[in-house]
Amino acid sequence: MIADYNFIHVVPPMSAHDFVKQSALIAQDGPFRGEWLDVDIYTMQHNRYPEVFGIGDVIGAPINKTAASVKAQAPVVEANLLAVMQGNPLTARHNGYTSCPLITGIGKAMLVEFGYEDNFAFMPSFPFIDPTDESWVTWVMKDRMLQPAYYAVLEGRA
């Protein structure tokens, strides 16, 4: 089938590293079976091993494969890990927040932020950036600020 479109964002196939996929930590059933770490998407705690927590690209979650997701997940993991160590109930919850700055052309980008609630509704951080519109401000943020930060992390400088 051929479809007309004005914009397409193609993502390559992804999964957890082989050492996770070949371990008992991998999801045993459901949509993430055999590919991702089996965690509760809200508490980040493993579904079968309560002393294990997951964060970032390795987890089985419908979204959350971005640095922005990790930034939102880290405090949840910290609070819930401490709760487990102290014998307390888990109270911190991840709302699924993720952010995808998408370059749509030279000098144009979109900042799409969303989470689990309301069927992946927009969760904009900046009231002056419309997630449905291309913007020069978003392009500057992605190209001039975020890109150097990504490379710094890859090179071990951050």
Q: Which residues is 149 bridged to in the sheet? A: none
Q: What is the number of other CB atoms lying within 10 angstroms of the CB of residue 70? A: 16
The pLDDT value recorded for residue 12 is 76
Strand (E) or helix (H) holding 74? helix 67-85
- pLDDT at position 158: 57
Q: Pick from 30, 54, 85: which residue ends a domain? A: 85
Per the domain annotation, does 46 fall within a domain? yes
Q: What is the pLDDT of residues 56-101, one digit of tens each?
A: 989 999 887 888 899 899 999 999 999 999 999 999 999 999 988 8
Phi/psi for 75 (5° steps) reads -65, -30
Structural domain of residue 119, as residue ranges?
98-154
Q: Name the domain count of the chain.
A: 2
Same domain, 78 and 113: no
Whether 71 and 118 share a structural domain:
no
pLDDT tens per residue across span 133-143: 998 988 888 87
The answer to the question of residue 26 being in a domain is yes
Specify whether 118 is located in the same domain as 145.
Answer: yes
3 state SS of 122? strand
